[in-house]
Chain A
Amino acid sequence: MPVISLFAWMLVIVFLAFVACMFEDLESDVGSQSNPNSQVQLAPEMGYIHRYYNKAISGEGLSYALACTIAGTIALLLLLQFEPTYGPKAAILAIPVGAAVGSISHMIRSSVCYPGREAAHKRFEQPIYLDVFYGHLVPIATHNFIAVICITAIAYIQSHLTVLSGVSGTSNPFPLPLLCLIWGITVGAIGSSTGDIHYGTEREFQDRPFGEGRRVIYHGQICRYGDCGIRTSKDVVAFCAKYGGPATGLTFGLIVLFENWRTVIGMMLGGLTGAAWNPGIAAASGVGLGIAVAIVLIVLNTWLVRWARKKYGPFVGE
């Protein structure tokens, strides 16, 4: 029974991871952060005056590590204050309040970025649109809040897993803020590596031919018109929420799923605590399972690339 509880908590963590990374990517789209923002930054220099939100606080990994660590630290302080009195119920207050502080700090950094970056573009006649500025701050904060609250909840569950699941020795030894830092870096790195492609390759250059890499001569010449009227970054997030965002969430969800799954299965094969517990077998089983999953991934990618080459064929055009 405790093992089932452990698996149930693992699946809760995976679900939260999916939501966290999806909203992380969508937040980076609505605020235009990370790699595709290089085109938003370049556009005025190419004569393309735009109404995109221009925010690149830092790399996504670092900015999310900061927001999540702030959230985790505040949550830990509240837990230390209220857990002795209210027990685990203190998390109901601590996690949302921590995430709110983290997302507000993120919003403040975002609000400084836009005027600063666009003011630097004055020589290219790029205005600072106040409606763009005000209109994007709340979507940035809300998307960020969902991502940060999920990460903080994941960190809380992982650092309290022994209490929650009833299986001894399953809590991660890292304290809550450190887990927030780790998952913040990871969620940012994944959001930057995968979700950005849908925004950068497709949405920013939607008026260019589909099915080819964006040539260097196109750089900076971003698509500025929406289905109706002039495009803003809010139109970007609606588009990317249909494919890039969920795919990014899937990446982090699968990573967390298989990382926890192989550890838990390894623990079961090692005897799951008690007299028969053999840490060597548990660790080696986890490593073996991980290598098996990696081999499956290699086969899948080889097949996928081969399929794409056959289906799409060589490049046609000039």
Chain B
Amino acid sequence: MEPITLVIILVCIIIGGMLGSLGVHLLPVGGAPAAMATATGIATGCVMLMTGSAVTGLFTASSVATFWESNPSVLLVSLSGGVGAMLMMGFTMLIANLIYIFGAGVVPVSGRAAVDPITKESQTEYKTPRTDGHGVPNVCFYSGIVGGFVGGFGGALIYVVLVSSGYAGFSVETAVVVALGIFIANAIMAAYNIGGTIEGFHDPKFKERIVTGLTCAFVISLMCGIMVLIAIETGTLGAGGVL
């Protein structure tokens, strides 16, 4: 394989992994406390949420990739994946808010910001004392939408570069498993970096930890990318890297 092609594959894997990590940091994740309306965000873990949204995007991306007989458009397939993940996050956050508002009678409110940085709505007086906020307020919703898009774009980018016959040329099955593996490794490292709950880009944690998170994502994706290149060059994943 041409050296320039190998470099492009490596760069795309690194970009995809770093976008996945950035996406996790942008999601409003409340973890277990959010299920009791004790913390703002979505009531599940970072990895589960990001993986769930990314695989939804990956499903659509895989369908879109089959539109081309060979060499699918990297940009359009990645965008399809990003939009798929964005829609998954959007519907999940909207229905979660419906349950918070009508099932528990709770007003969505941020625990980390006194005023919503985008809508400028005050938050503090709506918050229940001795909680860290509850529900998915508007700023978290916007952050989640962007996070879903960024993460889904990254996951689909890795997939399309691996499956495209112009690049790695893996079989569909191998490409999706490798893409998911790289993505989940980055998501787990991001979850460790966050260490609990995060509300999105306006959360002080985001500014404090995003550099560390992206640096880790770069290192992990680089190592994963080198493994992929070795597999391609040595034909470890079947003849010529194709199962």
Contacts and interface: CB of A to CB of B under 8 A. Distances in A.
Contact of B76 (A174, A280, A291): A280
B107 A294 contact: no
A174 B62 contact: yes
A201 B36 contact: yes
A214 B36 contact: yes
A13 to B, nearest CB: 12
B201 to A, nearest CB: 15
B35 interface: yes
A261 B128 CA distance: 40
| Of A59, A205, A306, A308, most B-chain CB atoms within 10 Å | A308
Interface stretch (A97-105, A111-119, A182-190, A226-234): A182-190
A182 B58 contact: yes
A35 B128 contact: no
Contact of A189 (B49, B102, B121, B176): B49
Contacts of A130: none
A174 B56 CA distance: 13
A291 B84 CA distance: 9
Interface in B48-89: 48-49, 51-53, 55-56, 58-60, 62-68, 72-73, 76-77, 79-80, 83-84, 86-88
Interface stretch (A83-91, A121-129, A143-151, A295-303): A295-303
Contacts of B84: 259, 290
Q: Chain B at the A interface: mostly helix, strand, loop or mixed?
A: helix
Interface in B92-112: 92-108
Interface in A10-45: 34-36, 38-39
Give the interface size bracket for B toward A.
35 or more
A139 B104 CA distance: 26
Contacts of A298: 90, 141-142, 145
Contacts, number: 277
Given A35-B43, A39-B36, A305-B108, A263 B128 contact: no
Given A188-B48, A286-B64, 13 more contacts: A59-B45, A169-B67, A185-B55, A192-B48, A193-B49, A201-B103, A213-B127, A214-B38, A247-B98, A262-B83, A279-B67, A282-B67, A298-B90
B32 interface: yes
Nearest 6 pairs of A and B residues by beta carbon: A189-B52, A211-B105, A200-B35, A290-B83, A279-B67, A35-B35
Contacts of B45: 59, 192
A195 B35 CA distance: 9
A255 B64 contact: no
A178 B83 contact: no
A134 interface: no
A276 interface: no
B38 A255 contact: no
Contacts of B94: 297, 300-301, 304
B161 interface: no
B96 A213 contact: no
A201 B100 contact: yes
A32 B157 CA distance: 37
Contact of B92 (A38, A190, A291): A190
B143 to A, nearest CB: 12
Given A197-B37, A210-B104, A298-B145, A251 B48 contact: no
A304 to B, nearest CB: 6
Contacts of B92: 189-190, 193-194, 251, 255
Contact of A213 (B77, B87, B101, B131): B131
B115 to A, nearest CB: 13
A238 to B, nearest CB: 15
B15 interface: no
Contacts of A205: 36
Contact of B43 (A193, A300, A301): A193
Interface residues of A, number: 85
B99 A244 contact: yes
Given A244-B99, A283-B73, A287-B83, A315 B126 contact: yes
B91 interface: yes
B24 to A, nearest CB: 13
A174 B176 contact: yes
A137 interface: no
B44 A34 contact: yes
A211 B108 CA distance: 11
A189 B79 contact: no
Contacts of A182: 55-56, 58-59
Contacts of A185: 48, 51-52, 55
B134 interface: yes
B18 interface: no
A61 interface: yes
Contact of B37 (A173, A201, A294): A201
A284 B64 CA distance: 10
B138 interface: yes
Contacts of B141: 298, 301-302, 305
B95 A287 contact: no
A180 to B, nearest CB: 12
A250 B95 contact: yes
| Of B47, B48, B136, most A-chain CB atoms within 10 Å | B48
